[in-house]
Structure 1
Amino acid sequence: MSQEHIAIFMFSSMMLMLFTGQRVFGAIGAIAAIAALALWGTGGPDIPFSAAMKLMKWYPLLTLPMFIFMGYVLSESRLADDLYRMFHVWFGNVSGGLAMGTIGLMVLISAMNGLSVAGMAIGATIALPELLRRGYDKIMVTGVIQAGSSLGILVPPSVVLVLYAMIARQPVGQLWLAGVVPGLMMAALFILYIWIRCRLNPALGPVAEDAGDVTRAEKIRLLGAGALPLIIFAVMMVPFVRGWTSLVESSAIGALAALAASVLKRRMTWALLHRCVKQTLAISCMFMWIILAALGFGAVFDGLGAVRAIESLFTEQLGLSPWVILILMQLSFIVMGTFLDDTAMLVIVAPLYVPLVGSLGFDLIWYGVLYTITTQIAYMTPPFGYNLFLMRAMAPPEIRLRDIYASIVPFVGVMVIALAIIMAFPQIALWLPQLVYGN
């Protein structure tokens, strides 16, 4: 059997396993083990085992539970309540101001969390009811919450970029910095879209009548509350960027700073701390199993030479240009995102896509940003977009599934525009890492 046929057989078998409802790590790991035994006999399992040992020795892996814990502490302690109140009093007197402020809220939540689910939970439980109560269009604000929460996987400290760094063997710090400008640009595009829509139709985002009743002292106090996540982010990232601490040490600083902030705000209890630790352990173990399976699969896949064979198929036999291949990769991510989450997508295609992208001459840091943005789009595309189901579970009864699907159309369009801009101008993502690291 040729290398191309073996590669197709491995991928099709893995997809079949996933469609049966098996857990992602079980499906990927089982195919890797079976393929290794079939190809190399009793010595085959040494290949995925060696890949697993490399992961266990990878020191930056310790950052994963740290950032997950930081996100859960800040989410569960409800520190976002003051944040939303800040945006209400500062932006409420502008048409669509609360919706634009919600995007700003999501950026701040992303900067202290790294996961989209926390932004979705905060937006759906705090911002969405308030926006609906003040007469905002339900379809527009539902899209605002979903689009804003997706920024959590792009703005550092993004857990998704940490996973990409592990599998692609790229520096986490450079990937985080590469996500800063694209994340802020996408947030600015969301705000611009909301502003234009509300200027054309002010009924979509009416002015908050009580926004002007707040005293200046209260505005200043709430501004300080809104600066809290930025302070935590600065305390964590500045020492790392300046070279004073390692990435693992900075992640520990961030976790301790978040815990200290929740204690000082008197939002932390023993029961809440126990819940945060338990959730952190569950999510960290899930990611660990998936990454182990992905590295094992990738080692087997690379060992049989399938990557080189598929590269030859695309570039030599089919004669496709590198940019056409790259665009096809991004389209495949969007298609897979209709029925898989971001982690599953990454571990399924990373053994093929990451080496292929490198061999085509593209920067793997830049491609990490492209992957993450495409994942954001996949999160919001029917029929099985991850954010669609989260919103359906958290939204009030008056928001129907039809409203949720309709709400994402313009924001997906904005994301596609942002993706095209960054593909056309790679320096948008690469400028900051090159400035800081000088390469």
Structure 2
Amino acid sequence: MPFDPLTIGFMGIGLLFFLLALRVPVGFAMIGIGLLGITILQNERAALATLSSETFELATKMELIIIPFFVLMGNLAGISGLSRNLYDAAHAWTGHRKGGLASATIIGCAGFASLSGSSVASAITMGQVALPEMKRFKYDDRLSSGAVAAGGTLGILIPPSTGLVLYSLMTEQSIGQLFVAGFLPGLLLAAFFVLTIMLLTHLKPELGPAGERLSYSERVHQTRGALPFILIIAATIGGIYSGVFTPMEASAVGATGTLIIALLRRSLNWRRFAGIMRNTGTTTVMCYFIIIGANVLNPFLARAGVTHWVSESILGLGLGPTMTVVVIMAAFAVMGTFLEGFAMLVLMVPVFFPVVTALGIDPILFGILVVITLEMGLITPPVGINVFLVKALLPNVPSARIFVGVAPFLLAMLVSLTLLLIFPQITLLLPSTMYR
């Protein structure tokens, strides 16, 4: 063997980054590098055995049923008009204030995130609803685009979250506890986004002019439209917290409830339903390929000694738990500037997680911190997926201007991340009191 196993491992990581830069799908890239690496380190039979065993085990894992059900719930929520109801309810109470429409966008994104579990879906859906309204009231496009791009990131943190499901599968942590743990940090981050908007419009009122003030009866009327959303969230997240449902059962209940609402509102026809099922299937298959790819790549990295080398190197620094987490989060943040979020999650968590367990850092807390750092990557140049989604909705606004708009929200994320690290009780309070 011309190279030692560790060198082969790092060469594999370098080749993986190259393939991702060429826009090769994440799952296929990881499967290919994992198969090639195990073949070089062992033989072709061992590589194919790893692929077949991991594929079969994951395909029959009942916990993964959460993904298609929650994706379906988000798709149905979008088609049934719940996203519009959420925005209208928030708009009714905040629209008359400076920056109120942008604040309503953040609140709407937070609400829709709890139905879709997807940052991409949250940004696109709420952007289509909110951006025309903010344009009508002559909002500065930096604030309007920044609010949509940043608000959309809440989809990966506020439960249900596909990112937390993947983290759970890779670290063998409770999906229910992770979902519940993401609730308060998600609300905290949304609150900081709203405070950021209030501060910006206080300093420069022209960024977000005040809208029309609705009467109290009109506000109540608009809020009633969001009641189905409240019932679904109470049934799903409340059911998980109280122990009435397992996360798998809650996902089925949420999808069924959203389907009933869509049928009652007559939002569905056969063509729309077929499109929703096709979209749900496509997203689910993508997630499955990423999970399978991670479970083929990670054995290669372990056999090459990369995971052990990283663990020993970080532990050898003797930084202590808190500073070690800071270093790991900094690594995630840097990689988030050029790596897609899910790719970074499945690639980096297995490498760093042994360090976390060795230092006694709570894995639930670490998972939430990781997901928030992934959120930052969604609006950080040069990748910034949410920025380019908003750019597609605002073709006349330069990407650089949108990145300027999200900068204050990135600062809010850093403040939130710091608070959660200093006060871990914010994250761990609900999981510690939930029904076991």
Give the TM-score category using the shorter length. over 0.9
Cα deviation, 1:10-39, whole Å, max 9, x if unaligned, reads 212222232333221122111111121222
Q: SS at the partner of 1:408?
A: helix
Deviation at 1:322, TM superposition (A): 4.2
Q: Spell out the pairing of 1:241-252 with structure 2 (5 A cutoff).
A: 241-252=241-252
> Which of 78, 81, 88 does residue 81 from structure 2 map onto?
78
Verify: 1:10 aligned to 2:12, yes or no. yes
Deviation at 1:396, TM superposition (A): 5.1
- The residue type equivalent to 1:432 in the other structure is L
Q: SS at the partner of 2:226?
A: helix
1:31 aligned residue: 33
Verify: 1:132 aligned to 2:135, yes or no. yes
**C-alpha contact 2:6 2:305 (8 A) present in aligned 1:** no
2:258 aligned residue: 258
Cα deviation, 1:165-203, whole Å, max 9, x if unaligned, reads 112221111111111111000111111121222223332
Structure 2 Cα separation of the partners of residues 19 and 81 of structure 1:
36
> Which of 403, 423, 430 does residue 425 from structure 1 map onto?
423
Q: Spell out the pairing of 1:339-358 with structure 2 (5 A cutoff).
A: 339-358=338-357
Compared CA separation, residues 37 and 86, structure 1 to 2 (3 A):
same
Gaps of 5+ in 1: none
Deviation at 1:356, TM superposition (A): 2.5
Deviation at 1:402, TM superposition (A): 2.6
2:154 aligned residue: 151
**C-alpha contact 1:302 1:351 (8 A) present in aligned 2:** no
- The residue type equivalent to 1:414 in the other structure is A
1:370 aligned residue: 369
1:238 aligned residue: 238
**C-alpha contact 1:134 1:206 (8 A) present in aligned 2:** yes
2:299 aligned residue: 299
- The residue type equivalent to 2:432 in the other structure is Q
Deviation at 1:400, TM superposition (A): 2.3
Deviation at 1:292, TM superposition (A): 0.2
- Give the structure-2-normalised TM-score: 0.94
Deviation at 1:339, TM superposition (A): 2.3
Q: Spell out the pairing of 1:264-343 with structure 2 (5 A cutoff).
A: 264-316=264-316, 318-343=317-342
2:61 aligned residue: 58
Deviation at 1:372, TM superposition (A): 0.7
Deviation at 1:286, TM superposition (A): 0.8
Deviation at 1:42, TM superposition (A): 4.4
Which segment drifts farther, 274-283 or 157-166?
157-166
1:20 aligned residue: 22
Compared CA separation, residues 325 and 53, structure 1 to 2 (3 A):
farther
Cα deviation, 1:272-326, whole Å, max 9, x if unaligned, reads 111110000001001101110101111232244432232222323x555444443
Structure 2 Cα separation of the partners of residues 120 and 435 of structure 1:
32
How many residues of Structure 1 are paired with residues of Structure 2 in the alignment?
433
Cα deviation, 1:96-127, whole Å, max 9, x if unaligned, reads 22221221111111111110112211222111
> Which of 385, 402, 407 does residue 404 from structure 1 map onto?
402
Q: SS at the partner of 2:310?
A: helix
Compared CA separation, residues 345 and 4, structure 1 to 2 (3 A):
same
Q: SS at the partner of 2:225?
A: helix
Structure 2 Cα separation of the partners of residues 395 and 405 of structure 1:
13
Which segment drifts farther, 334-343 or 304-313?
304-313
Which segment drifts farther, 293-302 or 81-90?
81-90
Deviation at 1:328, TM superposition (A): 2.6
Verify: 1:381 aligned to 2:377, yes or no. no
Structure 1 Cα separation of the partners of residues 95 and 197 of structure 2:
14
Deviation at 1:423, TM superposition (A): 1.4
Q: Spell out the pairing of 1:173-192 with structure 2 (5 A cutoff).
A: 173-192=176-195
**C-alpha contact 1:67 1:113 (8 A) present in aligned 2:** yes
- Give the structure-1-normalised TM-score: 0.93
Gaps of 5+ in 2: none
1:360 aligned residue: 359
Structure 2 Cα separation of the partners of residues 203 and 339 of structure 1:
34
Compared CA separation, residues 307 and 191, structure 1 to 2 (3 A):
same
Deviation at 1:389, TM superposition (A): 0.9
Q: SS at the partner of 2:308?
A: helix
> Which of 38, 41, 44 does residue 43 from structure 2 map onto?
41
Structure 2 Cα separation of the partners of residues 36 and 382 of structure 1:
34
- The residue type equivalent to 1:82 in the other structure is N
**C-alpha contact 1:116 1:149 (8 A) present in aligned 2:** yes
**C-alpha contact 2:126 2:148 (8 A) present in aligned 1:** yes
Structure 2 Cα separation of the partners of residues 320 and 51 of structure 1:
36
- The residue type equivalent to 1:63 in the other structure is I
Q: SS at the partner of 1:87?
A: helix
Which segment drifts farther, 137-146 or 374-383?
137-146
Cα deviation, 1:371-424, whole Å, max 9, x if unaligned, reads 110011111011121111111111252x22232121011110110111111112
Which segment drifts farther, 420-429 or 248-257?
420-429
Which segment drifts farther, 61-70 or 421-430?
421-430
Structure 2 Cα separation of the partners of residues 307 and 360 of structure 1:
16
- The residue type equivalent to 1:30 in the other structure is G
Compared CA separation, residues 17 and 138, structure 1 to 2 (3 A):
closer
1:107 aligned residue: 110
Which segment drifts farther, 48-57 or 280-289?
48-57
RMSD of aligned Cα (Å): 1.9
